[in-house]
């Protein structure tokens, strides 16, 4: 048996807790029983002791004469086991229902009552008999004139309490083995879901994250653990998928430019050429390198927007000022195609986020609007504040988006369903959507083929 295992330690705690609880319960039962048995005897002694004091203090004659009456003492002697002793102010026994009048116990008890001047109970043994004693002072005019010692055997109570202790000990010992075995069995059974999770974890590899821990449906910490573990696997699978997709994206986008650069260089070096030919080759290489650099930057932005840390180190900034700056950029970009850019920007709107990333996201929308709007067309840029949110709108009257393409426009490298050459890498809208999602926002799109498009970015207001 592994004494360091979790099941053993939990079993030990359960067993110890149960046994300690049992001991406390047995102890409490013993004390309550003892109290009940003693309370009956104490009531009996109190009644008789008070009667003796009452008689002794109510007589007009001297106390010694009154107490010496044999008839008075005899009535207590007739009670089986009853002992009554009366002393004077000096502790001398003046009357007793017992034969021995000079017992050291009488002197000891008188000295105590003389000091405390109040009634008290105590247990003392006379001969071989256990006795319960009740001692009362006899007071006259606040002066101690004697004492009354009343006692009764408690051997029956002592034997009963002894039997009770023995019975409780036997019951306790009888419970130790079955409780220990039952506790160990129940703990091991309760830990079965955790063992199953451990086995599932052992089977998991980075190439196969489809394994899931069985949910025990217990509504407690075990179910929470299973859900948390499965959630971790989901996040790991998403991370690995994102990583593989990122590597694939990079390989996909740099493959063609690298091939072109390599081919151009090989052709240029295959034989001696003129200065103009070398310059032409270098221009082509530079163009492809610039395209590859742009693509890598896009892929990196996309990877950032989908990473778990994308929401960190945010800042508060004026969205109104950022959109005004983008409106100026849009006007410059649209000049070559003679596109008119109109803007309507609400002032003093502030949000929290990464300004440079949001700038890039909105710029991608503006770039798309200008790219797919024919010369002489129009582009609208607006910033409005609504209840709890702000909305950035980029609209155009360009070629629009076919209904079949709308559900896919935010996918990576999607360039539309129509055959033919489409400008761009197909990452602009994917990057914009991911950045907005990283800021807990959303992009809404309204478009129809030949009727233009409108993209709305909805963000939380500061």
Long-range Cβ contact pairs of 26-30 (< 8 A, separation 24 or more) = 26/168, 26/171, 26/172, 29/164, 29/168, 30/161, 30/164, 30/165, 30/168
Mean pLDDT across the chain, nearest whole number?
A: 81
Q: How far is CA 324 from the centre of its chain?
A: 46
| Yes or no: domain 221-305 corresponds to CATH 1.10.287.130 | yes
Q: How far apart are CA 63 and CA 44, in angstroms?
A: 24
What percentage of the chain reaches a pLDDT higher than 90?
A: 23
Domain with CATH 3.30.565.10 in the chain: 315-460
Over residues 147-194, the pLDDT tens digits come to 888 888 888 888 899 999 999 889 888 888 888 888 778 777 777 777
* pTM recorded for the entire structure: 0.46
Domain with CATH 1.10.287.130 in the chain: 221-305
Task: Give the DSSP letter of residue 311.
Answer: T
**Which of 97-101, 109-113, 223-227, 393-397 is least confident?**
97-101
Most confident of 4-18, 101-115, 318-332: 318-332
| DSSP string of 235-293, one letter each residue | HHHHHHHHHHHHHHHHHHHHHHHHHHHHHHHHHHHSS---HHHHHHHHHHHHHHHHHHH
Second-level CATH architecture of 315-460: 2-Layer Sandwich (3.30)
Per the DSSP assignment, residues forming a β-bridge with 457 are: 392, 443
- Looking at residue 146, what is its pLDDT? 87
Q: What's the mean pLDDT in 270-287?
A: 88
- Looking at residue 67, what is its pLDDT? 47
Is the pLDDT confidence value at 343 over 90? yes
Domain with CATH 3.30.450.20 in the chain: 6-160
- Looking at residue 32, what is its pLDDT? 92
Token digits of residue 369: 């609007």
Q: What's the mean pLDDT in 311-322?
A: 81
CATH for 6-160 (2.60.40.420, 3.30.450.20, 2.60.40.10, 3.40.50.150): 3.30.450.20
- Looking at residue 306, what is its pLDDT? 61
Is the pLDDT confidence value at 17 over 70? yes
């Amino acid at each position: 048996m592994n004494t360091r295992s979790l099941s053993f330690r939990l079993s030990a705690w359960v067993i110890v807790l149960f046994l300690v609880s049992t001991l406390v319960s047995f102890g409490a039962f013993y004390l309550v029983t003892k109290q009940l048995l003693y309370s009956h005897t104490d009531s009996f002694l109190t009644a008789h002791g008070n009667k003796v004091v009452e008689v002794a203090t109510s007589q007009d004659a001297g106390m010694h004469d009154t107490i010496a009456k044999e008839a008075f003492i005899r009535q207590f002697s007739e009670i089986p086991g009853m002992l009554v002793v009366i002393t004077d102010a000096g502790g001398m026994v003046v009357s007793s229902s017992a034969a021995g009048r000079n017992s050291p116990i009488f002197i000891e008890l008188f000295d105590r009552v003389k000091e405390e001047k109040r009634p008290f109970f105590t247990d003392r043994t006379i001969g071989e008999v256990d006795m319960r004693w009740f001692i009362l002072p006899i007071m006259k005019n606040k002066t101690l004139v004697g004492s009354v010692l009343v006692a009764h055997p408690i051997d029956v109570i002592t034997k009963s309490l002894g039997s009770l202790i023995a019975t409780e000990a036997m019951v306790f010992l009888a419970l130790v083995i079955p409780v220990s075995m039952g506790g160990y069995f129940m703990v091991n059974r309760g830990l079965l879901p955790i063992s199953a999770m451990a086995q599932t974890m052992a089977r998991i590899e980075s190439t196969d994250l489809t394994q899931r821990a069985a949910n025990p449906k217990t509504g407690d910490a075990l179910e929470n653990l299973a859900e948390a573990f499965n959630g971790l696997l989901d996040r790991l699978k998403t991370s690995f998928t994102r990583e593989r997709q990122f590597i694939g994206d990079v390989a996909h986008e740099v493959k063609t430019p690298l091939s072109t650069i390599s081919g151009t260089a090989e052709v240029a070096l295959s034989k001696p050429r003129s200065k103009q030919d070398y310059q032409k080759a270098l221009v082509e290489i530079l163009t492809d390198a610039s395209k590859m650099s742009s693509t890598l930057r896009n892929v990196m932005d996309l990877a950032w927007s989908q990473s778990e840390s994308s929401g960190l180190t945010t800042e508060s900034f004026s969205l109104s000022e950022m959109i005004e700056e983008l409106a100026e950029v849009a006007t410059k970009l649209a000049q070559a195609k003679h596109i008119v850019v109109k803007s309507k920007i609400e002032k003093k709107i502030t949000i929290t986020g990464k300004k440079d990333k949001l700038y890039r996201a909105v710029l991608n929308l503006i770039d798309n609007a200008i790219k797919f709007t024919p010369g002489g067309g129009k582009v609208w840029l607006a910033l409005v504040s609504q209840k709890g949110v702000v909305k950035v709108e980029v609209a155009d009257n360009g070629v629009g988006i076919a209904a079949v393409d709308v559900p896919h426009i935010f996918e990576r490298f999607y360039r539309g369903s129509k055959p033919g050459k489409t400008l761009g890498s197909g990452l602009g809208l994917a990057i914009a959507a991911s950045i907005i999602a990283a800021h807990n926002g959303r992009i809404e799109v309204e478009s129809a083929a030949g009727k233009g498009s409108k993209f709305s970015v909805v963000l939380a207001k500061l």
